Amino acid sequence: MRTSKMFERINWYRKEYIYEHYSRIVDKIKDYDKISKKKMVESVYKIYDNYKNIISICTTRELKYLKMLLDNKSDMEELLSDKYEWERKTLHNKFLVEWDYQERAFIPDEIIDKVKEAIKNVDWKIAKSLDKLNETLVGYCKMLGSTPLDSIVAYISALSGIKEKVILAHMYKNKVFNYYVLVYDEDIELIELSIPIAIYQDYFYLEEELYEERSIQGVMDILPIDTKLCKTLFYNDFDINNKKIKKLLDEIKKLPFFWTKALDIIKEYALLNTERESLKESIQNVPNLKNYDLNKFFKILDEAMDEMPSGALNGFSPNQVKELEIENQKIMLEKQQNYTKQQNACLSRKDAKLFYKIYLGLLEFTNNKYKIKKNMKIYNKSNINPYELQEIIECFWENKDTIVPEFCMANPYKFNKEELDIANNFKKGFRDLIIIAKYESEYTGILNNDRVYMIKGVNDNIDNIISYQDLPQPTITSIIPFKNVLIHDGILMEYDINLGSGFTKAIEEEYSESMKYYHL
């Protein structure tokens, strides 16, 4: 097996290239101007002094390639073939493999003993299980460009059955994941909080542009995670199983120019889903292509890029977005056709007045007991801003089992028996996130914890407050038994989000198939 020292070849490489990969491998990095190329590689090899770090920064495919390099019986011609192009490139970037133009690939002398030790101690079963998780996580981040850490953790946990805390620990500690994906805290001024973000390392310099395009083009729908697609993107950058994309990759290799650089640019344009004329012009202006008729190639390019997932479109491809738009138009038409205007879906004025008398009495009792807002008058007061009551409302529902009996026992506002019975029934109520699913003539159907409850409004039919066009609509409210019906508490804290066509269909199906509950 050919051997050579990495430090004898280090001057062949640009400092920018070495720094980029050094910064992905070493935890505590030095500023670019304060470290030499040799010191950077020495820092990497210090990490590799622990052979377990070599195992943890490599996929199974990379480890098998290292094993074949160590095996003197391996066919060097095959190891340098296109079949192992990905392994060679990634191991080279990790300073684990070198090759020359004398048809030889080799592991640098400085680390060969540690690599031997790593290969000897690999647990291939564990390595494969980590691959499966990394392929999905990294592939998904590559598809989106960037994503809030909590959302991907929750999504992958639901998909895989792996506990969220296990996935979260993996994303912070696993060396393969951290080599490809950067996790950092982004300050959100509007809410004065920091949110952990996962961004694909190669797209870090496009972060601001990606956010801008996503704010303009972002699709308010849920992208199902396709683990097969994620795996393909992890190893190939492109979905080579898509015929139109595969055709582009085949055709671009036939053109007499540095097509690998063109593919990097195509990835950026696909990520941002920006206009393609400037991309085509840059290809057209390549000296070797000036005399080529590229019209056919540009048609293939457009067809392929229409199939590529875009971070600006929240992971959807342009063609998928077109399909979603058609589906959403169909859903809106069905909503309009199936909408039943509510006629008697709220309390009478007399009952609404009675409800507020009791509810505001309970809230003032809560405020006095827990001293939430001093000297605030609530009982029998009209035109109260509901947002001023939010903290008191939350306190009441958290402590209702204590407050309601005390209230009924004290009876501070001299309620009659009927009023006390109604107040006592508040113990059966609950406050939670619900989904307003459908409007019926006399009731509003809501979903909560796999049940459909049929409720009424207080002063008004709920379809006069939230349009049928916005259903299904998540909202936080309180559901309360009042006399012989269920009502909400008159305050609907809406979430201003579009849940997408897939979610809408699922809600409609669940609503139509579920038993309807008119009482708690």
Query: Buried (b) or exposed (e) across 334-359, using 16+ Cβ within 10 A?
Result: ebeeeeeebeebbbeeebbebbbbbb
List 148's β-bridge partners, or say none.
Answer: 197
The predicted structure's pLDDT at residue 1: 47
Average pLDDT value for residue range 117-135: 96
SS (H, E, C) 423-441: HHHHHHCEEEEEEEEEECC
Residue 429's identity, in one-letter code, is G
Query: Buried (b) or exposed (e) across 259-293, using 16+ Cβ within 10 A?
Result: beebeeebbbbbbbbbeeeebbeebeebeeeeeee
Per-residue pLDDT tens digits for 84-125: 999 999 999 999 999 876 668 889 999 999 999 999 999 999
The predicted structure's pLDDT at residue 89: 94
How far is 80 from 389, CA to CA, in rounded Å? 70
3 state SS of 476: strand
The predicted structure's pLDDT at residue 497: 60
The predicted structure's pLDDT at residue 102: 60
Place of tokens 């540095």: 258
pLDDT at 277 over 80: yes
Place of tokens 């229409």: 306
Q: Environment class of residue 76 by beta-carbon count within 10 Å: exposed (0-12), middle (13-18) or buried (19+)?
A: middle
The predicted structure's pLDDT at residue 76: 82
Lowest-confidence range among 7-16, 46-55, 185-194, 327-336?
A: 185-194
State in Å, rounded, how far the first CA of the chain is from the last one: 76
The predicted structure's pLDDT at residue 188: 66
Q: How many helices (H) and strands (E) does the chain have?
A: 23, 12
Per-residue pLDDT tens digits for 369-409: 999 998 889 998 878 888 889 999 999 999 999 999 999 99
SS (H, E, C) 163-210: CHHHHHHHHHHCHHHHHHEEEEEEEECCCCEEEEEEEEHHHHHHHHHH
Average pLDDT value for residue range 20-46: 95
Average pLDDT value for residue range 287-302: 93
Angle at which helices 37-48 and 15-25 cross, to 10°:
30
List 108's β-bridge partners, or say none.
Answer: none
Rounded to an integer, what is the distance from CA 406 to the centroid of its chain?
46
Per-residue pLDDT tens digits for 191-249: 567 889 999 999 999 999 999 999 999 887 778 889 999 999 999 999 999 999 999 99
The predicted structure's pLDDT at residue 501: 73
- Give 281's pLDDT tier (boundaries 50, 70, 90): very high
- Give 13's pLDDT tier (boundaries 50, 70, 90): very high
Neighbours of 12 (CB within 10 A): 7
| In the chain, domain spans | 6-122, 126-231, 240-308, 349-517
How far is 163 from 166, CA to CA, in rounded Å? 5
Q: Which fold has domain 126-231?
A: Arc Repressor Mutant, subunit A (1.10.10)
How far is 42 from 332, CA to CA, in rounded Å? 61
The predicted structure's pLDDT at residue 225: 85
Cα R_g (the chain), whole angstroms: 31
Higher pLDDT residue, 218 or 440? 440
Higher pLDDT residue, 70 or 159? 70
The predicted structure's pLDDT at residue 33: 95
Per-residue pLDDT tens digits for 455-513: 999 999 999 999 999 999 999 999 999 999 999 998 888 766 656 677 788 888 899 99
Q: Are strands 473-482 and 444-448 parallel, antiparallel or unpaired?
A: unpaired
How many residues are there in the chain? 520
How far is 233 from 142, CA to CA, in rounded Å? 7
Question: Considering the chain, what is the average pLDDT of its residues?
Answer: 92
Average pLDDT value for residue range 73-92: 88
- Give 71's pLDDT tier (boundaries 50, 70, 90): confident
